[in-house]
Structure 1
Amino acid sequence: MKIVGICGSPREGASEYLLNRALNELEKEDSFETTFISVKDKSISPCTHCNECAETKGKCSISDDMDEIYKALKEADGMIMASPIHFGSVSAQLKAVIDRCQAMIMEDLDIFKNKVGISIVVGGDRSGGQELAIQQINTFYLLNKIIPLSGGSFGANLGACLWSQDDGAEGVKEDEYGLKTLDMTISHFKEFLLEFKS
């Protein structure tokens, strides 16, 4: 099964570290083939809502690095979206990726149907908007027939929520509770995919 991880951070740091940790855990199973995509070195313009994709059944009027992401998402059985918290929400870069998926949806309203998705979010504060950011990602999943998963009750109710203490990757490595939410979420994702998608 193909899993694509999209890191929505504009710089190297905690989100990238956590997403790679998640993908490496999945790679331990022969059943998974993973792809890591970072927005930090890419040119991805925001959606202008010009409606060309609706008129052309999927062709976006903007030609940029989203083309690589479209291809990976089309081929994926599962996806992981990782984001730093920017003012209580996902990064502008990840939101641009989400909004630009409109072109894929106009190509085929069921293009995402029954894919499986999880979220990884990390903030400089323990309560900096992590759950709100996960809900934003999950809203994208739900609107597009993607099955959203969490890590389950007693630790990771909505997904992986971490605290960097404003110290990037080194900070999240010290967040034992947050890493537990990541491990629970990845474990549930893996279990679900192996049971229902293989």
Structure 2
Amino acid sequence: MTRRLGPGKLVIATHNAGKLKEISALLHPHGVDCLSAGSLGLPEPAETGTTFVDNALLKARAAAEASGIVALADDSGLSVAALDGRPGVYTADWAERQWFEGDAGRDWYLAMGKVEGLLAAQGPDADRSAWFSCVLAIAWPDGDHAVYEGRCNGSLTWPPRGEMGFGYDPVFVPEGREQTFAEIDPAEKHTISHRADAFAKLVAEQFPQ
């Protein structure tokens, strides 16, 4: 049987206030009190993994070991079929930044342009199918862990559309929709996204009715 979370504190392995707020809202009904790694002064480990699972586990384990509290981390990104799954785990790296700028310095339009340029080079009949992946990893201080994987299939469009998303959202049209993630109301997006899929699996196993 999978080890389960109980009510109490959970470290979210992030320094992003928006991500903490989103995850806290999802777990609050289950009696979980979320703290961010940033608020505890925990360092951000280098994401040296070659898969989403590797990086999510790396971040969760680092936070659990440093804090002595159960930790949750996520790793997510965009994969493009015609680019052999790239950018994948290097999704954020394609949005180049200066070393001193932090996440605010990432150029997501540049990243979207890189993807479009590679697709355009394949001609008008290039396969534009793509998917977002999200892996959630829970790590206990004693080394135990659990992993949940979510996915949202779709296709890429150009030029970018919408103002409500972030990252590659303005060029990603989820399957069965005509709007990009950046044109869909955030509350609705959270019900169909890759992160929603992963969280549904986590909640079903960790907090069964």
**Do both proteins adopt the same fold according to a TM-score greater than 0.5, normalized to the shorter chain?**
no
- Structure with the largest fraction of strand: 2
Structure of greater relative contact order (alpha carbons < 8 Å, 6+ residues apart) = 1
Q: If you compute each CA radius of gyration, which structure gives the higher value, 1 or 2? A: 2
